[in-house]
Amino acid sequence: MTIRIISTVLALLALAAGLAFANAYPEAPIVFDKPVRGVLFSHKTHMEKGLSCEMCHNRLFEMQAKKAQQNSDFVMESLYQGKYCGACHNGTLAFASNTRCATCHIGVKGEERLKNGGKPEKKGH
Ligand code: HEC
Ligand code: HEC
Ligand code: HEC
């Protein structure tokens, strides 16, 4: 009897761990460095806006950091056409890709600040 309860509890714990893993997103921001360095993407801030994984995976992005930047069309022009980040950053769902450059482009200094545990740079290039 006790053994059965314990094994049921263990099975439930394993299931919960599995579900948690399925929804785990990287805590640390991803900073793109191609074609230009210092472009910030944070899962944390995006998930806090109530977005679901499916909104970005797999239609817009693969679940692999720095995969999109291997594509030659990972450039502003594509964003303006509604691809990649531009699917949302179009001025309707989120601030438009042709505004607030420095919010995404934290630059090399911003990246260094992130690595040092500081806040991303708000201004600058
Ligand atoms: C607003 C868009 C967006 C949402 C929502 C989102 N992701 Fe991502 N995710 C990205 C981007 C962008 C990348 C980097 C892809 C690239 O570089 O090509 C990424 C990468 C990843 C990676 C790879 C990390 C690594 O180090 O290789 C994992 C794992 C991941 N996402 C899991 C999730 C999970 C789980 C959720 C839901 C809880 C989620 N993501 C929601 C945009 C998003
Ligand atoms: C599924 C929709 C969606 C996609 C795709 C998306 N974003 Fe966002 N993003 C949002 C929303 C919603 C906000 C918050 C609303 C606002 O600020 O206009 C936001 C806010 C941000 C912010 C400000 C908050 C912060 O994290 O500092 C940055 C920077 C940002 N996005 C960068 C990116 C980049 C870079 C990409 C592509 C790699 C991307 N986003 C893709 C929806 C999206
Ligand atoms: C929503 C986030 C976001 C905003 C806002 C944004 N960018 Fe970008 N930018 C990106 C991403 C993503 C890339 C491609 C990844 C990389 O170069 O690291 C990129 C790449 C670039 C590039 C190199 C590729 C190309 O298109 O020539 C330039 C230059 C650039 N951005 C300039 C700007 C300027 C100027 C603004 C403001 C008018 C701006 N960006 C606003 C996300 C953004």
pLDDT of residue 20: 52
- Out of 3.90.10.10, 3.10.20.30, 3.40.50.300, 3.40.50.720, which CATH number does the structure's domain 25-115 have? 3.90.10.10
Position of tokens 């109530």? 50
**Ligand 3-lining residues (CB < 6 angstroms):** 32-36, 39, 69, 74-77, 85, 89, 97-98, 100-101, 103-105
Q: Over the stretch 37-65, which tens digit does the pLDDT of each residue have?
A: 999 999 999 999 999 999 999 899 999 99
Q: Among the atoms of ligand 3, which is closest to the Cα of residue 37?
A: 18
CA–CA separation, 78 and 84 (whole Å): 7
Task: Kindly report the protein residue whose alpha carbon is nearest to atom 18 of ligand 2.
Answer: 94
Segments making up each domain of the chain, as ranges = 25-115
Mutate to test the pocket of ligand 1, among 31, 32, 57 (most ligand atoms within 8 A of CB): 57
Q: Over the stretch 76-112, which tens digit does the pLDDT of each residue have?
A: 999 999 999 999 999 999 999 999 999 999 999 999 9
Residue 28, pLDDT above cutoff 80: yes
The reported pTM is 0.89
CA–CA separation, 35 and 67 (whole Å): 12
